[in-house]
Amino acid sequence: MVNNLLCIFLLIALYGCNVDTHRELDIQYPAKLVIKNQTQHLIALDGIYSSKEAKSPFLLKGEKLSAAENFETRISLPVFDDINNGNMWLEGQCGSHSEWKKKASKLSKNVIQSDLWVIVLTINSCGAE
């Protein structure tokens, strides 16, 4: 009986901290950034980063997005606020534009405020705006 209780206690001590991993992520990164590729071209995002005006500097790893594909990542609230205020740049390649750069304020934006805040930025074209 004592051995069983000791085993249960050790299991809880060893693995109990991992039970709330998702909750820890929700607290540290309570928002989500979604970038939608609505072009008919491949977009290779080399960098997603804050502008000089941002209050919370950040640099996010980019990704390749095929036509109609989305990129999602968790972000903190200060980064959410900077992106919502247009203080973010996307850089990489879009279609035939090899040195493509677009400011977040030039993209269409949709903000969803719920338990997990979501900001959706949509890339509608590869051209300069």
| CATH numbers and ranges of domains, the chain | 29-123 (2.60.40)
The pTM of the full predicted model, rounded to 2 decimals, is 0.78
How far is the C-alpha of 63 from the C-alpha of 56, rounded, in Å? Answer: 22
Sequence-distant (6+) residues with CB within 8 A of 92 are 43, 44, 45, 46, 47, 62, 100
Name the residue with higher pLDDT: 6 or 101: 101
How far is the C-alpha of 10 from the C-alpha of 64, rounded, in Å? Answer: 44
pLDDT confidence of residue 10: 72
> pLDDT tens digits, residue range 83-128?
999 999 999 999 999 899 999 999 999 998 877 899 999 999 987 6
